[in-house]
Structure 1
Amino acid sequence: MIAFLVIVYVAVVLVLFKVLRIKPTAYLIASMIVVGVFMIGGVVVVWTQAAPITDKMVTSQYVVQLVPYVKGQVKTIHAQANQPLKKGDLLLEIDPAPYEYTVRQVEAQLATAKANVKQAEAAVATANAAVPNAQANLEKAKAADELAKTQEQIALNIQRADKAAISQLNVAKATQERQEADAAVQQANAGVAQAQASAQQAAAALQVTQSNVPAVEAQLDDARFNLAQCKMLAPGEGYVVNWQVQIGTMLVPAPLAAAGTFVNVSDTAVAAVFPQNFLSNVEPGNDVEMVLNPYPGRLFLGKVDYVIPASGGGQFTTSGTIPNAARIGSDGLYAVRINFTDNAVARKLSLGSGGSATIYTNKGKATHVISKVAIRMKKWLLYVMPSVDKPSS
């Protein structure tokens, strides 16, 4: 459109001065220049606000550092670098032998703990059964004691009434029987107390053994979890890059010793950078057209997800040094996250691909044709003029 306006402007100038042979004056020439500037410049201003275009963009995907949860030597490698994988596919196996030993050991401890619970339950049942027996013996002893006391009292009463009616020996015998009955009652009381104490001790021992079982079960769950972590699985749909492992490689659960990097292609997006004043009309959901450097001749469609309302130039690192005012500034750029319309196409794109993108806002739709023509020219020019990102100064 700009080229068309330039052509129209030049045609008007030629008609005025060549065909109509209007005498050029300083006032007329100045007027024509002002008209040309406003006509073309106004379109450019509306165009940049309505359909901004940029060459600073890159495809982005989430990456995951493949760090094992457990340490050990690599036993088997299943995944190959740069080969597509699905979520849950097996990447590699760490030698599980040490963790299998731990699982078996804790399983044996759990079996012992459960056996101890059963023994404690049997001891509680035996101790509880002894309490009623002791109480029954106590009741018998009390009854015998009461009988002995009654016989003693009868003997004493007879002796007081008539000393010749009963012998002193019989009275002494009745007294001795009563004393023996009293001792039996005391012994029965001690037996009841001992049975109750044994029952309490057995109940306490049962609680201790029962409390050991959940702790051992937790240890077993942990051991089984560690055993399962010997198999490293793909965290999503994607592929592995920077695959650093071989059979026999020692892996440790440390971020600085990753086995490789997993690129997750299930959420492929574009980060495009625009001047801040070009984004005043950009809204989530605006249509986007893109060309990517590795794919000349192809046009990709997308939607604006959101404008990232932050810039690293406004972030200051906490330190004891006062920020240098001369170094404070901004490059005047904001990033826009763009989602591809076709997720199936997005999954096949390479990470870090550069290219160009244009956003079509809801304003100045007549100027959208300028960006549509420009983006399609870039699409075909990639065949003969590869785009190379220039390092920032």
Structure 2
Amino acid sequence: MDVLILGIYSFFVWLIFIKLKWLPWNITSQVIVVIIPVVGMAILLLTLNVVAPSSSDVRVYKYTIPIVSQVRGRVIEVPVEEGNRLVKKGDVLFRIDPTPYQLDVNVLEAQLANAQAGQRETEESLKASRAKVAEARSAIAQATSQVSAANATFELARKRVQQYRELVRSGAGSKFDLERAETDLRSQESGLQAARSLQAQARSAEAAAAAGEQQVVQRLGAKVNGEYAQVAQIRAQLENAKWQLAETTTRSPCDCYVVNLQLRPGAFVAGLPLNAVMTLVEADGHVVALYNQNELHQVEPGNEAEFTLKTLPGRVIKAKVDSVIWAQGQGQLQASGSIPQSSYAAMPPGRFAVKFDIAEDDRQLFLAAGAAGDAAIYTTHGHHIHIIRKVILRVGSYVNYLVLKLH
């Protein structure tokens, strides 16, 4: 663009001074003719760098996801291919032989069924034990009532014996009546002892029934989420076994591309956290341009932006400024017990990154991770000279078609 402007300016100089000779071509006019483009171009470029800053350091970043198997086993299928074939979220990446994990599920399902049957049987035993406890308590109540009645009858017989003895001493009573009252007292005492024996037997039966109930309760154990502990434990083991069985099929967590695919059927995966078997690169990347610090004072989120990539010669990609990342490594201090030291030589000021939001029409473009290029941001100032930056950017994009190699 600069060359084009200088060419147009040179044409008018030739037309005015040489061809038409409207003005004299002397030392004064020659100095003026030279100074005007130098000063004008300097002002234009300095203004352009403020209202439409450019960057020659555009980078495409993409997150990578190392895929690690959650379980160990022999690989039986790898249906994906390495390269630019997009893998959708949920697509199968590889499968491990599920046989041992299916057997674990079968065993735990049988154990769970047995535990549930045993739990039902134990619950029935608990009901029977509680019925026995209730029956023993009813017998205790009945025996207690009998003891009370027998005790009352015994006390009455004893009073009659005392009364008959006093009558016999005074000569007013019959000895025969006294003997009959004493016989009746002994009979009532035997009945009282029998009632007390029945009461003791009922209490003993209650204690035995309560002990049996406690044993059944101990066998059942505590409850977890409405289930007894043994059943809950086996159910948890079963759920874990089912999860491991499901993890024998590893699926893609995102829309990604597969790189570094060396996994093949027959290989053995160990299920270790650091043993990645393949790497996924996300389909959507992040485009960042690095700018010098004094170039960004007019840049705001939402400003129009364009960038080109060396991998896409002749293509200008539309975007907007998403954000300016106002932080870089030179502004960070690590937590330590040492006082920060200044270097002997001053480090050059670091650049700040500007993140771009790609326009909807260009989001389907394939942006290679690590691709580099140029970018320009068009602020809300100096709209009339933005065209110059756009032309420069487009010319540079077409220059990318040139492969400057000597072999």
Q: Same fold (TM over 0.5)?
A: yes
Amino acid paired to 2:81: Q
What is the number of residues matched between the two proteins?
384
Amino acid paired to 1:184: L
Q: 2:154–2:192: 8 Å Cα contact kept in structure 1?
A: yes
Distance in 2 (alpha carbons) for counterparts of 1:340 and 1:189: 86
Tell me if 1:300 matches 2:317: yes
Partner of 2:70: 69
SS in 1 for 2:86: coil
* TM-score of the aligned structures, taking structure 2 as reference length: 0.82
Distance in 1 (alpha carbons) for counterparts of 2:120 and 2:348: 74
Distance in 2 (alpha carbons) for counterparts of 1:108 and 1:344: 57
SS in 2 for 1:248: coil
Amino acid paired to 2:372: G
Tell me if 1:20 matches 2:38: no
Change (3 A) 1:146 1:290: closer
- The CA RMSD over aligned residues, in Å, is 3.1
Q: State the Cα distance separating 1:304 from its structure 2 match.
A: 1.5
The ranges of structure 1 where at least 4 consecutive aligned residues each deviate by more than 6 angstroms after the TM superposition are: 11-14, 28-33
Distance in 2 (alpha carbons) for counterparts of 1:41 and 1:344: 34
Change (3 A) 1:147 1:102: same
Partner of 2:285: 268
Distance in 1 (alpha carbons) for counterparts of 2:134 and 2:335: 76
Change (3 A) 1:257 1:330: farther
Matches within 5 A, 1:85-234: 85-160=87-162, 161=164, 162-165=174-177, 166-167=179-180, 169-208=183-222, 210-234=228-252
Distance in 1 (alpha carbons) for counterparts of 2:345 and 2:69: 42
| Larger Rg computed on CA atoms | 2
What are the superposed Cα offsets for residues 280-331 of structure 1, whole Å, 9 maximum, x if unpaired? Answer: 2222122222222222232221122112212223345566776451255235
Change (3 A) 1:51 1:344: closer
Partner of 1:390: none
Q: 2:330–2:350: 8 Å Cα contact kept in structure 1?
A: no
- Decide which moves more: 118-127 or 346-355: 346-355
Change (3 A) 1:88 1:295: same
Matches within 5 A, 1:221-300: 221-265=239-283, 267-300=284-317
Change (3 A) 1:327 1:313: farther
* TM-score of the aligned structures, taking structure 1 as reference length: 0.85
Q: State the Cα distance separating 1:129 from its structure 2 match.
A: 1.0
Structure 1 stretches lacking a partner, 5+ long:
388-393
Partner of 2:167: none
Partner of 1:375: 393
